[in-house]
Amino acid sequence: MNSLAEKQRVDFFTQMEIEKRVSIHTLTNYQRDLCHLTDFCKKQKIEHWSELQSNDIRQHVANRHRQGLSSTSLQRELSAMRGFYNYLLKNNLVTLNPAQYVKAPKSIRKLPKTLDVDQVGGLLDAGTDSVLEVRDLAMFELFYSSGLRLSELVDLNLSDLDLSDKSLRVQAGKGGKSRILPIGTKAILAIQQWLQHRVARNELELAVFLSKNGDRLCQRSVQYRLKQWCIKKGISQHVHPHALRHSFASHLLQSSQDLRAVQELLGHSNISSTQIYTHLDFEHLANVYDNAHPRAKKKSV
């Protein structure tokens, strides 16, 4: 690519960061995705973004798919390309968006892994032996109580909590959207106990959950602590923080049957993202049916 094309790509990222204020995670993904597209253009000796056609995008996506990239990742890459070309169109730098109608190959949608109510109880009722475990329990209770994403939990500040109102505010969820969530009684008790021990490095540190050094806890640390919690408490199943969010959604939907409410609590912009939990609910009902209905049981030979 020539220097002008490279500058246009950099300008796009500057606009995303400063004007649209996208998250660092999204910005990093887009930068990586468009780097792959730039490498493709260099191999094809394409100098300007205006030279790319839909067939070129399809070839690039096919190449990435052969390299083992999943459908979900390819959809994200296409989203990055569409966003970039929309920026170029808006600034009259190209005349068409070659990625507009290109689709990623379809993949089988995997159902999220969840825990049943007894498993969650065993995880959260295991007891604490140290200040760090008091903190950990508060985090895990909050995951299950309010259905937080991992990023939302580590970004949580003291000012976002209103324990007297039994609620919290997610300031910037996925897509930069905020929402208010209820907090369950057990999670409130666990948080109150942690706040009694919370010691920040300095008064400017506002994070709810801190490392042992008094700094904001990072996502990898939360994942590691949950893994260590399971090992220490004798829980054989590997549990990812997102499994607690999925369990929250699945258990709430089973009890309430209110898909819209679960959508709001999870912060899903599209209800199709929430509908996957109806499949989990049906899977549970189907298993009950197979085990209980006299005409569904297989006869032994």
* Catalytic, out of 60, 216, 245, 246: 245
Tens-digit pLDDT profile for residues 225-269? 999 998 888 887 778 898 898 888 888 877 777 778 778 888 777
Is 80 exceeded by the pLDDT of residue 165?
Answer: yes
179 is an active site residue: no
d(CA 30, CA 14): 12
* Catalytic, out of 242, 246, 284, 289: 242
Element (H, E) at 196: helix 185-197
* Catalytic, out of 9, 64, 135, 149: 149
Instruction: Work out the end-to-end distance of the chain between its first and last CA atoms, rounded to an integer number of angstroms.
Output: 69
Burial class, 31, CB count within 10 angstroms (exposed 0-12 / middle 13-18 / buried 19+)? middle
Question: Which is higher by pLDDT, 10 or 105?
Answer: 10
174 is an active site residue: yes
242 is an active site residue: yes
What is the DSSP secondary structure assignment for residue 175, as one 8-state letter?
A: G
| Mean residue pLDDT across the chain | 86
Is 70 exceeded by the pLDDT of residue 187?
Answer: yes
The rounded radius of gyration (Å) of the Cα atoms in the chain is 23
The CATH label, of 1.10.1070, 1.10.150, 3.40.50, 1.20.120, for the domain at 3-90 is 1.10.150
277 is an active site residue: yes
The pTM of this model reads 0.59
d(CA 215, CA 81): 36
* Catalytic, out of 82, 113, 174, 240: 174
CATH class name, domain 117-290: mainly alpha
Length of the chain: 301
d(CA 152, CA 48): 39
279 is an active site residue: no
CA atoms within 13 A on the CB side of 111: 16
Report domain extents, the chain: 3-90, 117-290
